[in-house]
Copies of this chain bind each other. A is one copy, B any other.
């Protein structure tokens, strides 16, 4: 019989009975709200531990109207950055006593709203959204924290992509590069636009930068098509600044396959410090977001919104949390970016080694 009791979880009422007090008192003691005498409080907590008491979130949720669960919606859960986000958000939320429910919009804009709706129906108190490029989050009648870029209207917090771009540009300038190609996917991403804007700002008046849009090339040549980077090298480009490590990886392999050596012949840099950045050869110089900090701020902001909602007119308005909307990025210098060497002869050298896969690339126009 004892076993039977052990099997089903103890609840407040069990503790109350065991101690001959009321559940209200037990509840107060556990939450530290209503004042309970020191000794009774201690006795209750002890008994709770003894019985292996675990509060029922469902019961609490029902009476407080708050689930202590947050939703996390990403434009594309399949994106290689998702793990970093998920890990950081989960950690920050967990520290604050919240669980994280995932929603997937599979890269589909319309599905994004449905994912958010589902999360809300599931009772999420608030939602963290890393929106799809060019999407605007509608008012969903519940707290939302948007992580995108400072230039996105309604953005809550994000890495300082623009300045990250500036720093990356400066890094390349310091290495002696004066003609670079910036590689992006498409122009409707605020994050990419900011990074690109920053790089160009750094180069303004000090060197020239041209743009390679992968998305456009793929639209005509098909996914995974060569980007024609070797030709750019022949034209004098000495560095490729990709706005994502994924594109940087693509550039590195295409260049290597074309016989261009990195960083001896050209430099390549990326963004985000994705999983492979440290292990490919050469290892990739990249610009990393401070996910921990971003997640912390997003969660703090969300929780503030949630609590303000609960406080309503009762308490004096909670002061809005002061936080920077932009969190600095960090340059991780690795092997793929190096000083400009004697590259004048490179054009010839590269063309000699060019092999089919990349040499057949049409113009990067």
Contact = CB atoms under 8 A, between A and B. Distances in A.
A61 interface: yes
Contacts of A100: 101-102
Interface string A70-89: 00100001111011101100
Interface in A63-114: 67, 69, 72, 77-80, 82-84, 86-87, 90-91, 94, 99-104, 106
A252 to B, nearest CB: 7
Give the interface size bracket for A toward B.
35 or more
Contact of A246 (B67, B261, B279): B279
Contacts of A118: 94, 99
Contact of A58 (B123, B262, B278): B123
A224 interface: yes
A214 to B, nearest CB: 9
Copies in the complex: 2
Interface residues of chain A: helix, strand, loop or mixed (majority): mixed
Which residue, of A82, A104, A279, A283, has the highest number of chain B Cβ atoms within 10 A? A279
Contacts of A91: 104
A283 B58 contact: no
A187 interface: no
Given A256-B257, A261-B257, A77 B101 contact: no
B103 A90 contact: yes
Nearest to A358: B281
Interface of A: 54-59, 61-62, 67, 69, 72, 77-80, 82-84, 86-87, 90-91, 94, 99-104, 106, 118-119, 121-123, 223-224, 226, 246, 249-250, 252-254, 256-257, 261-262, 264, 275-276, 278-283, 335, 355, 357-358
